[in-house]
Amino acid sequence: MKSVPKLIRRFVGILFMSLFILIVLNVTVLLLIGMRYQSQPSPYKETQAVAEALDRQGGQYVLGQAAAQRLEQIGAWAVLLNAQGQVVWKSDNLPQEIPLSYSLADISALSTGYLKDYPTYTVEYGDGGLVVAGFAKDSYFKYPYQSMNLSFVRALPQIGMIFLAANVVVVFLIYIFSNLQVTKSIRPLVQGIHALAQEKAVHLKERGLLSELAQQVNRASDIIQSKNRELAKKETARANWIAGVSHDIRTPLSMVLGYANELENNAALPEPARRQAAVICTQSLKMKQLIGDLNLASKLEYNMQPLHLQKLSAVAAARSVVAECINSEAEGIYTYETDFSPEPCWILADSGLVARAVSNLVQNSRSHNPQGCVIRVSVFAQDGGVTIRVKDSGAGVSAQTLQDLQNRPHYMFCDAHIDGQRHGLGLLIVRQIMLVHGGQVRFASEPGRYFRTDLQFASYSEQKASSTADKK
């Protein structure tokens, strides 16, 4: 569920980044707009320029040529009023509707507003004179009553900051609220997807913003559960079939083995017939072993094999298997060597299954080297664990076969046209035994020199510590 807080942090980060970009963008736009309008002529400055360029020469007022051209350029006109409100000078482009005499009330009005819809601006000139400049209609907007509370003006920076902060908080709250609604809808979906990955049953409420997606997750869960039920039925049927067939074959197979053994030991029979009976015995024993392997593999695969874990000496378990193999060796073509650690090498394991794994590895070496070989069984402590190694000096396997053994659950090298070596249920059972013990299987080989298998167990102390931690 770490993805939901991560999603919230991402949303908040996007929010602050958006606010920052928005503020920068607004400030930039305001600056550009301000610069644009600042570059345009100011009516107050233009009026001031007229007053400065207006000069009295020989009892008459004369406006400088540059100032006159500037008035024409911007479409403005100007007059000079004396102390009595009479026009004593006017520009050449003065509109006819503009009066030439003004009362005090008129002067007050044009100073703060308009004259005949012309926005007017005034500048003091000389002793009691007044320069009035008028600009084109609809060129400027004037506030007739310009006055503000001084305390309000002084508090404008603080008011602006409070206003900005309030807006940011409101936007933030709106954003968080909206995203909480989204995350509220997303959280069950995330939980459902995690449950789907573990093949658990999922049923989400199909409502809200993501109801359609919740519906699809529910549908996927139903499909997975349905397939799992069908698979469980098939696996149960398969396990029951294997167990039933194994049980049904044992009785006739025991009869075949018993009669064949009697025929083999019957001195009254000719030697060829006794040899044929011996072959029947050998093949019947192999078939019996195969049936046992098949049944055990099925039980291990479907967790039907009882597991009796106990403190077990790996050295003692391997020694007993080697002793049994030596005692059952009739041909004398296999040489057994041991290299056991002086320590007992304790592991937490099922003694019967560990013995079966080692026995299968020894039998695998014998089956693939009918001409005989040296089989060496070693037990030693390694990297905090215990390793049981079975190595033979036989034919070994190719690099491709070794890769198949390492990477596949089990490998069968079987060609219908070649009566050769095959790795079948023996190594599969070894893998399954190590799997239920939490161990690992490692293969190594060099063609024509050796084949080696390592069974790697965790030490008894590590397994007990891990078991205690799991209970907590």
d(CA 265, CA 278): 9
In this prediction, residue 6 carries a pLDDT of 66
Give the predicted TM-score (pTM) of the model.
0.49
Question: Token digits for 85?
Answer: 């409100």
Radius of gyration of the chain (CA): 52
DSSP letters of 187-211? HHHHHHHHHHHTT--------STTH
- Cα–Cα distance between 432 and 423 in angstroms, integer? 15
Q: Which top CATH class is 43-134?
A: alpha beta
Task: Decide if pLDDT at 379 tops 90.
Answer: yes
Length of the chain in residues, anyone? 472
The residues, any chain, with a CB within 8 Å of residue 225's CB and separated by 6 or more, are 199, 201
Contact criterion met (CB below 8 Å) for 372 and 333: yes
Rounded to the nearest 5°, which phi and psi values hold at 334? -110, 130
Question: What distances in angstroms separate CA 321 from CA 1, 394, 416, 429, 462, one per listed residue?
Answer: 50, 20, 33, 16, 25
Query: Which CATH number does 308-471 carry?
Result: 3.30.565.10
41-80 pLDDT, tens digit each? 688 888 899 888 988 887 788 988 898 898 888 889 999 9
Does residue 228 register a pLDDT over 90? no
* pLDDT surpassing 90 at residue 211: no
Q: Which two tokens stand for residue 341?
A: 């650690």
DSSP H/E element including 125: strand 118-125
What is the C-alpha to C-alpha distance for residues 406 and 195, in angstroms, rounded to an integer?
31
For 97-153, the pLDDT digits (tens) are: 999 998 888 888 888 788 888 999 999 988 788 999 999 888 888 776 666 677 877
Q: Which of 297, 174, 162, 324 is nearest to 238 (CA)?
A: 297
Name the strand (E) or helix (H) holding 412.
Answer: none
